[in-house]
């Protein structure tokens, strides 16, 4: 993969940087490797005068990028795929990665897929993935854990632990939506492990957590489904044993108090950070203000960046106030 000299020179960093971009309850995570390669996970909402595309482009340019090498589109919902066309108009995209066709068939779902396919037809390459597939960049490995309602056939290296929480877990009604078809993945960089399960819902999470945990302990966890309690059973979260959690919630979307309590009680957790103050969480289910990127509902769209080293050490920065905290391996 070609990398500009400027990006390569800037990339003499020893970290993979994860930029959690505020799309106000949507999803957009920009991953930049030490060598200037880039992966964007989802593109936020459409509309709002191109708000989310502008925020993604600003983050990409600040990171020294001239294009996004890969856009991994986890599923066909408005707050994940809706922003792809506006982003493609504003910034070059190399390859689109998805799970195949939209599994929802209503008119709005078809419109979302058609808009996405027009981007694919306009020059970007397209790759469809399934569980068990591996995406490799220099020193970076991305294992596809779930996609299109299916899961990997056996635990990943580092997973396979028997899960005592499975005895207590109850299934919910099956989810037929695209949420349950989300692409979920594990990113590995040396000893650093980061997991993003997109909007995977409760029963599908149980399938990769019980009776043994398919992923195992990680350093960094992006809360599933914006921190909603339709997802995030303790069986999956506590089995991940994340040292740091980032919640990509909005002021009124995600950040469910019940899910927040699961996160905050996870074994081995050092800290949780939030993109927004959760109005539903109030004083009892929000982290300290210094670790919240946006305090007001009508906000300026501040993000959170995590710099992760090969030894598993982390540095987290809140762009609203400049508050930074480092976590040893």
* Annotation: CATH topology of 14-322: Metallo-beta-lactamase; Chain A (3.60.15)
Place of tokens 């080293």: 309
Which pLDDT score is estimated for 8? 41
What is the rounded CA–CA span in Å between residue 95 and residue 79? Answer: 20
pLDDT tens sequence across 8-38: 444 445 899 999 999 999 999 999 999 999 9
What is the rounded CA–CA span in Å between residue 43 and residue 21? Answer: 9
Whether pLDDT at 282 is above 70: yes
Per-residue burial over 174-195, b = 16 or more CB atoms within 10 Å of its CB, e = otherwise: ebeebbbbbbbbbbbbeebbbb
Element (H, E) at 90: helix 84-90
What is the layout of strands, in order, in the sheet containing 15-20?
125-128, 93-98, 68-72, 38-41, 29-32, 15-20, 304-309, 314-318, 324-327
pLDDT tens sequence across 250-266: 999 999 999 999 999 99
What is the rounded CA–CA span in Å between residue 328 and residue 39? Answer: 25
Mean pLDDT, residues 222-233: 98
Q: Which of 6-10, 128-132, 229-233, 262-266 has the lowest mean pLDDT?
A: 6-10
Which pLDDT score is estimated for 206? 98
The proportion of the chain whose per-residue pLDDT surpasses 90, expressed as a percent, equals 95
Whether pLDDT at 283 is above 80: yes
The proportion of the chain whose per-residue pLDDT surpasses 70, expressed as a percent, equals 96
Which pLDDT score is estimated for 7? 44
Closest residue by Cα to residue 194 from 71, 8, 17: 17
What is the rounded CA–CA span in Å between residue 313 and residue 329? Answer: 4
Q: Residue 2 burial (CB < 10 Å; 0-12/13-18/19+)?
A: exposed
Whether pLDDT at 2 is above 90: no
pLDDT tens sequence across 46-82: 999 999 999 999 999 999 999 999 999 999 999 999 9
Which pLDDT score is estimated for 168? 86
**Kindly report the CA angle at 112 between 108 and 117, in degrees rounded to 5?**
145
Closest residue by Cα to residue 321 from 297, 294, 299: 294
What is the rounded CA–CA span in Å between residue 42 and residue 29? Answer: 7
Which pLDDT score is estimated for 13? 54
The pTM of the whole model exceeds 0.85 = yes
DSSP code of residue 49: G
Determine contact, residues 306/318, Cβ cutoff 8 Å: no
Band of residue 5 on the pLDDT scale cut at 50, 70, 90: very low
DSSP one-letter string for 165-197: GGGT----PPP-SGGGG--EEEEEETTEEEEE-
Determine contact, residues 214/208, Cβ cutoff 8 Å: yes
Q: Using omega within 30 degrees of 0 as the cis cutoff, is the peptide bond preceding 211 cis?
A: yes
């Amino acid at each position: 993969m070609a990398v500009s000299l400027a990006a390569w020179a800037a990339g003499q960093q020893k970290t993979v940087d994860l930029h959690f971009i505020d799309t106000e309850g949507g999803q957009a995570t920009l991953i930049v490797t030490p060598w200037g390669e880039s992966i964007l996970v989802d593109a936020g909402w459409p509309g709002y005068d191109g708000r989310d595309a502008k925020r993604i482009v600003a983050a990409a340019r600040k990171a020294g990028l001239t294009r996004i090498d890969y856009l991994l589109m986890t599923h066909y919902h408005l707050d994940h795929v809706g922003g792809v066309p506006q982003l493609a108009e504003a910034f070059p995209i190399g390859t689109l990665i998805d799970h195949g066709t939209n599994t929802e068939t209503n008119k709005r779902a078809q419109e979302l897929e058609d808009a996405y396919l027009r981007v694919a037809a306009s020059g970007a390459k397209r790759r469809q993935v399934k569980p068990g597939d591996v995406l490799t960049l220099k020193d970076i490995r991305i294992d596809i854990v779930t996609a299109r309602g299916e899961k990997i056939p056996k635990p990943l290296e580092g997973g396979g632990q028997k899960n005592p929480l499975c005895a207590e877990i109850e299934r919910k009604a099956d989810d037929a939506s695209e949420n349950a078809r989300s692409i979920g993945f594990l990113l590995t960089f040396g000893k650093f492990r980061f997991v993003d399960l997109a909007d995977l819902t409760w029963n599908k999470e149980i399938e990769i957590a019980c009776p043994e945990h398919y992923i195992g302990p990680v350093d960094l966890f992006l809360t599933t489904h914006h921190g909603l309690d339709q997802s995030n059973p303790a069986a999956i979260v506590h089995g991940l044993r994340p040292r740091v959690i980032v919640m990509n919630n909005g002021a009124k979307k995600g950040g469910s108090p019940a899910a927040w309590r699961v996160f905050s009680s996870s074994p081995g957790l050092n800290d949780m950070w939030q993109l927004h103050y959760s109005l539903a969480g109030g004083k009892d289910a929000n982290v300290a203000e210094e670790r919240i990127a946006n305090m007001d509902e009508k906000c300026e769209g501040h993000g959170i960046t995590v710099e992760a080293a090969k030894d598993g050490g982390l540095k987290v920065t809140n762009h609203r106030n400049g508050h930074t905290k480092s976590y040893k391996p």
